[in-house]
Amino acid sequence: MKLTTIILAAGKGTRMKSNLPKVLHKVCGRPMLEHVIDAARNAGSEREIVVIGSGADEVEKSITDVEFALQAEQLGTGHAVKMAKDKINDMEGTVMILCGDTPLVSADLLEKFIENHEQTKATATVLTAMMPDATGYGRIVRNQSGSVDKIVEHKDATEEELQIHEVNSGMYCFDVKALFDALEKVTNDNAQGEYYLTDVLGIIREQGLLINAFVTNAFTQILGINSRYQLATAERILRQRKNIELMDSGVTILDPDSTFIDYDVEIGRDSTILPFTYLETGTKIGENCSIGPNCRLQNTKIGNNVTMQFVYSHDAEVDDDVVIGPYVHLRPGTKINKKVKIGNFVEVKNSNIGEGSKLPHLQYIGDTDMGTNVNVGCGTVTCNYDGKKKYRTTIGDNVFVGCNTNLVAPVTVNNGAYIAAGSTINQDIPENNLAIARSRQVNKPAWKDRRQQ
């Protein structure tokens, strides 16, 4: 059976106090709506229709590979589902309805939910959970036989109904035809003046059709995000899942509570992640690495046997057997090759650092192509910008750069060259030459005595 999913993502999210549409707020490094889409696809959905409204243009620009239906006026969940009707008019079978602000739902739970719906041959199945604090959630009201009688929204519930702890997740499986037939009969006669999707269940029951409820014990998976605090709660739960997944695969995380790893980060076995490390989207780390403490890596590729501490790296690549830190900044376009050592207070930008080279401390290396086994002295700067354009510096193999050297690009330092400390180099240096570009020292005798006269 081909499964289509409708994802409701039209709400304003006013409690977020944000100009960003609620479903685009990131959890564990990606918009919460993308978490829901992925869970649906991994559970077997072959087509996803996202109903958008508030911030529709921004959502369309940010989310790809889905279809969109517009809910121009937010008149309730039932009205939102109706906006997708034209896109599935000819469809038969089952449609799953999810909420775009429930990023904690897993593919495993949805797969079991769909399987239960199909096995029971129900016309409608609602995913429910036993919630310790059910405030704000619709309550599941069961009849004497234990089957679902109706769902009552929190604001419409009686005192007795408010004592119920089984809540509606807002996630459903429906027979397509029965769903849209029932939606035509839904009214907005309620406290909110909205067309509730939950009213569909009562209409289906009146027709004598089967309504099923699939109860999950994992109530955290149905949590919706309506505030910054709830966003932080979801963030903590998803990061915990990610940390457990990595540790189960052979990664050591010394303190999971102070380690922050995005959903798509990959780490090889026997690597160790130390506290206060942030590994963000697009980052991949090899085996036997030690990363941290206090590293922040964004879209950074790390090889095997790499040690990094107190490093900020973004859009960079580090090869095997490299030691970096502390207090190092790797900027976009940087490639650090094998066996390089980078010490404290070094910044490298848009540069290729050759195998076995050393940047021990206090250097700025920008727009540079550096060969193998180069030793760069303390305080060296590649001067890559003349106020209008940026130029590259080329350094060959086995070069020795003395302390406090300025390399004024464009300039080439050929293989085996030496540069005397304190030089400002603005001309190419031939192979195996020593370059000295500083004023000759002059000592003035009795200088102190004359000054004091």
* CA gap 111, 309 in Å, rounded: 41
The two structure tokens encoding residue 9: 């993502």
Same domain, 125 and 58: yes
State what percent of residues in the chain have pLDDT above 70: 100
* Residue 404 clears pLDDT 90, i.e. is over it: yes
Same domain, 304 and 267: yes
Q: Tell me, yes or no, whether 450 lies in a domain.
A: no
Rounded average pLDDT over 96-102: 97
**Main-chain phi, psi angles of 257, to 5 degrees:** -70, -20
Q: pLDDT value at position 90? A: 76
Per-residue pLDDT tens for 139-181? 998 887 777 888 888 888 899 889 999 999 999 999 999 999 9
Q: Tell me, yes or no, whether 442 lies in a domain.
A: no
**Positions marked active-site:** 361
Per-residue pLDDT tens for 2-28? 899 999 999 888 999 999 999 999 999
Q: Tell me, yes or no, whether 234 lies in a domain.
A: no
Same domain, 325 and 246: yes
The two structure tokens encoding residue 436: 């000295």
Q: pLDDT value at position 180? A: 94
Average pLDDT, whole number, for the chain?
Answer: 94
Residue ending a domain, choose from 193, 222, 251 = 222
Q: Which residues pair with 272 in a beta bridge?
A: 252, 290
Q: pLDDT value at position 2? A: 80
436 vs 202 pLDDT, higher one: 436
50 vs 89 pLDDT, higher one: 50
Same domain, 260 and 321: yes
Rounded average pLDDT over 245-257: 98
Q: pLDDT value at position 74? A: 87
Same domain, 208 and 317: no
The helix or strand, by DSSP H or E, that contains position 430, with its residue range, turns out to be: none
Q: How confident is the model at residue 190 (pLDDT cuts 50, 70, 90)?
A: confident
Report CA-CA distances (Å) from 131 to 140, 168, 215, 220: 11, 10, 11, 9
Same domain, 163 and 284: no
Q: Tell me, yes or no, whether 102 lies in a domain.
A: yes
Beta-carbon contacts of 242 under 8 Å, excluding residues fewer than 6 positions away, are 28, 261, 262, 263, 265
Q: pLDDT value at position 155? A: 85
* CA gap 72, 54 in Å, rounded: 8
**Nearest Cα residue to 102 out of 237, 280, 197, 257:** 237
CB of 139 closer than 8 Å to CB of 166: yes
Beta-carbon contacts of 412 under 8 Å, excluding residues fewer than 6 positions away, are 393, 394, 395, 396, 428, 429
**Main-chain phi, psi angles of 140, to 5 degrees:** -90, 115
Structural domains of the chain, count: 2
Note the pTM of the prediction, 2 decimals.
0.90
Same domain, 214 and 315: no
451 vs 7 pLDDT, higher one: 7
Q: Tell me, yes or no, whether 86 lies in a domain.
A: yes
Same domain, 270 and 189: no
Burial (0-12, 13-18, 19+ Cβ within 10 Å), 307: middle
Same domain, 72 and 157: yes
Give the domain CATH number at 83. 3.90.550.10
Rounded average pLDDT over 281-292: 98
Residue ending a domain, choose from 222, 251, 278 = 222
**Main-chain phi, psi angles of 196, to 5 degrees:** -85, 135
Same domain, 199 and 249: no
Rounded average pLDDT over 255-272: 98
Give the domain CATH number at 255. 2.160.10.10
* Residue 1 clears pLDDT 70, i.e. is over it: no
Beta-carbon contacts of 100 under 8 Å, excluding residues fewer than 6 positions away, are 7, 8, 9, 22, 23, 32, 33, 36, 50
* Residue 403 clears pLDDT 90, i.e. is over it: yes
Rounded average pLDDT over 429-441: 94
Q: How confident is the model at residue 357 (pLDDT cuts 50, 70, 90)?
A: very high
Q: Tell me, yes or no, whether 440 lies in a domain.
A: no
Q: pLDDT value at position 315? A: 98
Q: pLDDT value at position 221? A: 96
Per-residue pLDDT tens for 101-119? 999 999 999 999 999 999 9
Q: pLDDT value at position 176? A: 93
Same domain, 280 and 197: no
Report CA-CA distances (Å) from 205 to 100, 129, 140, 182, 201: 27, 21, 14, 10, 6
Same domain, 171 and 275: no
CB of 201 closer than 8 Å to CB of 211: yes
Rounded average pLDDT over 283-305: 98
* CA gap 60, 66 in Å, rounded: 9
317 vs 152 pLDDT, higher one: 317
Judged by DSSP in three states, 124 sits in strand
Report CA-CA distances (Å) from 19 to 16, 58, 435: 9, 11, 57
- Write the DSSP assignment of 130-154 as a string of letters: E-SS-TTSPEEEE-TTSSEEEEE-G
Q: pLDDT value at position 83? A: 94
Q: Which domain holds residue 296?
A: 239-435
Rounded average pLDDT over 356-377: 98
Residue ending a domain, choose from 222, 247, 282 = 222
Per-residue pLDDT tens for 25-65? 999 999 999 999 999 999 999 999 999 999 999 999 999 99
Rounded average pLDDT over 269-279: 98
The helix or strand, by DSSP H or E, that contains position 95, with its residue range, turns out to be: strand 94-99
The two structure tokens encoding residue 254: 């010394």
